[in-house]
Amino acid sequence: MTKSVCLFNHKGGVSKTTTTFNLGWVLANHGHKVLIVDLDPQCNLTGLVLGYSTVENGKMEGFYSSRENLTMKPVVEAAIKGSEPDIFIKSENGKLFPTENPGLFLLPGHLNTSDLDSQISVSLKIASGVPATKNVPGALPEILHKISKKEDIDYVIYDLSPNVGGLNEVIVMSSDYFIIPTSPDYFCLQAIGSLEKNIRKWHRDIIRFIEDNDFSKANFPIHNNPKFLGAIQQRYRPRKEKPAKSFQKWIDIIRESINENLVPSLAKIDCVVDGERMNTALENTDLEPYDLAHIPDFNSLIAISQQLSKPVFSLTDAEIAEVGRVFGHAEKTMQISRDNFKTVFADLCARVLILTS
């Protein structure tokens, strides 16, 4: 059975896209078939996988017009028109895009997801009075579920845009799990408080929507019960393999806000993973609930990673030397950093597997 995970924080600049790609890659390394879905109209995940040069050189028009490639463009069009989700079970709709990792696939994003976002937002408010719109909110989750089932996907990971619009609402609330990527600053602290209010509101909205439109709660594509797996504390500068003091301060404050405010609030609506399971996942680590991982800045490795469309932890020694154009001490430093990231993401993957088992 497919398990769905959202990477979501409506504050931008917290590395949602990079983390989606990296987590998907390492899950695939562990033998799982993984689909990463780009639901951000900016299509950064798509650019990361296909190569930013492809986007810049104007090659994307041919990519999206090819019937060989399944993208979000026809998915969104079908959701807006109310087409039957089963049309995506047919082979003529194109194939998922393969990445450099044989177990990892991409459903490329498209600008038109912003159109669906606005349609869903309106429908959630007016559907009881305008019945013709009532199938719009559940259409995208159902289509994505059909695609994942057809392709025998083990994990589908959604990369969402940084907003609290209708599309993010239905995807988060239809997912099995969600993770909050964070950065160590005041604005991310503010975002945690806002997330708590919005997820509680979304939960109420979906209950009301199901009741007002006489849907069967058991069969509705938006299950309204995503489990919070934890936060990934990242984008900090390390000192002696630990966050520098100024960053550690914000990491501690954000963790405190998550544990004292977000988790208890989500527990009231059964939208947080069990505390005992979290303790099991963090056993023999120096992490505290609900931290899933501490991931420092990638620094110069990220440029090589983006150029090769590979995570930093999968770069070879030769790629670091040739693409990074480094040698000697700088080369060795980058190799050590690469190996440290390999350990960090392997440990993150192990925790996600424990929490979603």
Give a yes or no: residue 312 inside a domain: no
Per-residue pLDDT of the chain (357 residues; tens, 9 = 90+): 899 999 999 888 888 999 999 999 999 999 999 999 999 999 999 999 988 666 555 677 788 888 888 999 999 999 998 888 888 877 667 899 999 999 999 999 999 999 999 999 999 999 888 888 999 999 999 999 999 999 999 999 999 999 999 999 999 999 999 999 999 999 999 999 999 999 999 999 999 999 999 999 999 999 999 999 999 998 777 766 677 788 889 999 999 999 999 999 999 999 999 999 999 999 999 999 999 999 988 888 999 999 999 999 999 999 999 999 989 999 999 999 999 999 999 999 999 999 999
Residue 252 lies in a domain: yes
Find where tokens 């030397």 sit. 321
**pTM score over 0.85:** yes
Identify whether 182 is part of a domain: yes
| Spatial distance between the Cα atoms of 305 and 240, rounded to a whole number of angstroms | 24
Cα separation of 175 and 152, whole Å? 17
Q: What is the pLDDT of residues 54-89, one digit of tens each?
A: 655 567 778 888 888 899 999 999 999 888 888 887
The pLDDT score that the predictor gives to residue 65 is 82
For the residues of 253-270, what is the DSSP string, one character each?
HHHHHIIIIIHHHHHTTT
What is the C-alpha to C-alpha distance for residues 245 and 342, in angstroms, rounded to an integer?
Answer: 24
Instruction: Determine whether 236 is exposed, middle or buried from the number of CB atoms within 10 Å of its CB (0-12, 13-18, 19+).
Output: buried
Establish if 59 belongs to a structural domain: yes
Residue 319 within a domain: no
Residue 322 lies inside a defined structural domain of this protein: no
Positive/negative CA dihedral, 276, 281, 286, 288: negative
How many separate domains does the chain show? 1
CB-based contacts of 59: which residues, under 8 Å, 6+ apart? none
The CATH number for 252's domain is 3.40.50.300
Nearby residues of 218 by Cβ (< 8 Å), 6 or more positions away = none
* Domain span holding position 134: 3-299
Residue 124 lies in a domain: yes
Whether 208 is in a domain gets the answer: yes
Q: What is the CA radius of gyration of the chain?
A: 20
Rounded to whole angstroms, how far apart are CA atoms 262 and 192?
Answer: 7
Closest CA to 307 of 327, 323, 326: 323
